[in-house]
């Protein structure tokens, strides 16, 4: 397992950074932040490092919304100092992923300093970027250390805390989809990592009241859970333990809204809202008897390739060619391949049902989200009614992964 040392969540994270910098003999730093996170913590970190004689550059990204896209990646690359230095990501998901990518591609290390408990990617290896309009996760590197200042986290905007909670409990269906993928699509699976991820979910659910009250203890519980989820991604090597149908819908909404409106909603808020619908699909699978499921399997036919390609083109427009490439394993299925998937569904129906039974009812999930102030309706999230269904109709094309949405299509279990 890759070592991130230290991972610190507590008081005076900047002081801990200074101690580590001295112990590791670090000399030069480049802080990456946006205008909000520089004000919240970055300026303090910069001044503290300079007061100890360190060479410090600060790159502060400006804009109403900063996205991990070509524009901001190039800006950081152009402004980054030449020569040896350690990057410090002062921010949440976008800043961390931008720093992760640039540090990796320039052969340097980076330290994470989260300013909000809003995502699970602080300790992961992948950088979810928006390249050519497509949400793409690029394998990069984890931070060498993480210093999360509890005062800064506790005073983060409430909507960011709620988003972190949505991202965290979104792993409920991520784990279920991962298991389904291993059963039906022969995707690699690691039971030990699945158990660790489930324990992180349980930590967030068990402490929902303290998290909703934004107490230091509650925020630390949430941050602990998010950090562990990121470590599960890191140790497995891909985002599979933490990303399923709920994330695919979120990615689709994000891509469409950035393209059409130039801005999007918070990632974790989208994931939490999508989670409710994905949990409802699991409830429908759970309600099927074996007899009904086998009848539906008997009636299932291989999706027509031309129709599927047309659907992708309709859903993704000019981005369709890249999506088609990622979806070839499904598009190129033969009748024999499809029959093999159907046989696996039949043979492993009891395991599928047992997996579905572990997903809480959508009403229960919605109650958790409401407690922390996260959106549970399209209106609260900021999605127009007509924008909702396409996230599930087209989102599943984004990854070569088998989720409950793929299973629902085969079994003809409609959405909604």
Residue-wise DSSP of 337-350: HHHHHHHHHHHTHH
Give the span between the Cα atoms of 126 and 117, in whole angstroms: 18
The structure tokens 């939490």 sit at 272
Calculate mean pLDDT across residues 206-218. Answer: 98
Give the span between the Cα atoms of 153 and 161, in whole angstroms: 8
Query: Any idea of the CA torsion for 9, 159, 38, 122, to the nearest 10 degrees?
Result: 40
Domain 7-156 falls under CATH 3.20.10.10: no
Delimit the domains of the chain by residue range. 7-156, 162-410
3-state secondary structure (DSSP) of residue 268: helix
pLDDT of res. 86: 98
- Beta bridge mates, 88: 31, 111
Q: pLDDT digits over 228-275, tens only?
A: 999 999 999 999 999 999 999 999 999 999 888 888 899 999 999 999
Fold designation for 162-410:
Dehydroquinate synthase-like, alpha domain (1.20.1090)
**Which residues have CB under 8 Å from 24's CB, separation 6+?**
none
Tokens coding 84: 């040896």
3-state secondary structure (DSSP) of residue 243: coil
pLDDT of res. 2: 57
pLDDT of res. 3: 82
**Which residues have CB under 8 Å from 272's CB, separation 6+?**
162, 163, 165, 166, 167, 169, 170, 369, 374, 375, 376
Q: Say if residue 1's pLDDT is above 50.
A: no
Q: Say if residue 123's pLDDT is above 90.
A: yes
Through-space distance between the first and last CA atoms of the chain, rounded to whole angstroms: 41
pLDDT of res. 287: 97
DSSP state of 69: B
């Amino acid at each position: 397992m890759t070592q991130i040392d230290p991972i610190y969540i507590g008081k005076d994270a900047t002081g801990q950074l200074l101690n580590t910098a001295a112990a590791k003999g670090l000399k030069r730093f480049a802080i990456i932040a946006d205008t909000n996170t520089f004000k919240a913590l970055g300026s303090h970190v910069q001044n503290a490092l300079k007061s100890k004689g360190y060479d410090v550059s600060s790159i502060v990204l400006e804009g109403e919304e900063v996205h991990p896209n070509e524009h901001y990646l190039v800006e950081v690359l152009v402004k980054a100092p030449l020569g040896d230095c350690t990057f410090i990501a002062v921010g949440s998901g976008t800043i961390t992923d931008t720093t992760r990518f640039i540090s990796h591609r320039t052969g340097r290390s980076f330290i994470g300093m989260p300013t909000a408990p809003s995502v699970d990617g602080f300790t992961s290896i992948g950088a979810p970027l928006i390249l050519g309009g497509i949400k793409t996760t690029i394998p990069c590197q984890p931070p060498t250390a993480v210093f999360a200042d509890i005062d800064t986290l506790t005073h983060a905007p409430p909507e960011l805390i709620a988003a972190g909670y949505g991202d965290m409990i979104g792993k409920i269906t991520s784990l279920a989809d991962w298991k389904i993928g291993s059963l039906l699509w022969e995707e690699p699976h690691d039971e030990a990592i699945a158990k660790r991820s489930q324990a992180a979910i349980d930590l967030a659910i068990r402490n929902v009241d303290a998290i909703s009250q934004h107490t230091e203890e509650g925020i630390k519980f949430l941050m602990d859970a998010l950090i562990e989820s990121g470590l599960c991604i890191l140790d497995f090597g891909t985002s599979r333990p933490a990303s399923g149908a709920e994330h695919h819908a979120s990615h689709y909404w994000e891509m469409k809204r950035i393209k059409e409106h130039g801005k999007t909603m918070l990632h974790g808020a989208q994931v939490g809202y999508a989670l409710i619908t994905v949990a409802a699909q699991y409830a429908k699978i759970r309600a099927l008897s074996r007899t009904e499921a086998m009848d539906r399997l008997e009636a299932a036919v291989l999706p027509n390739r031309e129709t599927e390609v047309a659907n992708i083109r309709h859903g993704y427009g000019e981005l369709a060619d890249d999506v088609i490439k990622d979806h070839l394993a499904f598009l190129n299925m033969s009748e024999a391949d499809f029959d093999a998937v159907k046989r696996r569904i039949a043979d492993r129906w009891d395991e599928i049902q047992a997996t579905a039974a572990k997903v809480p009812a959508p009403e229960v999930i919605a109650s958790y989200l409401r407690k922390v102030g996260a959106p549970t309706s399209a209106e609260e999230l900021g999605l127009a009614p007509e924008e909702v269904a396409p996230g599930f109709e087209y989102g599943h094309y984004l990854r070569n992964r088998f989720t409950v949405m793929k299973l629902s299509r085969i079994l003809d279990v409609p959405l909604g």
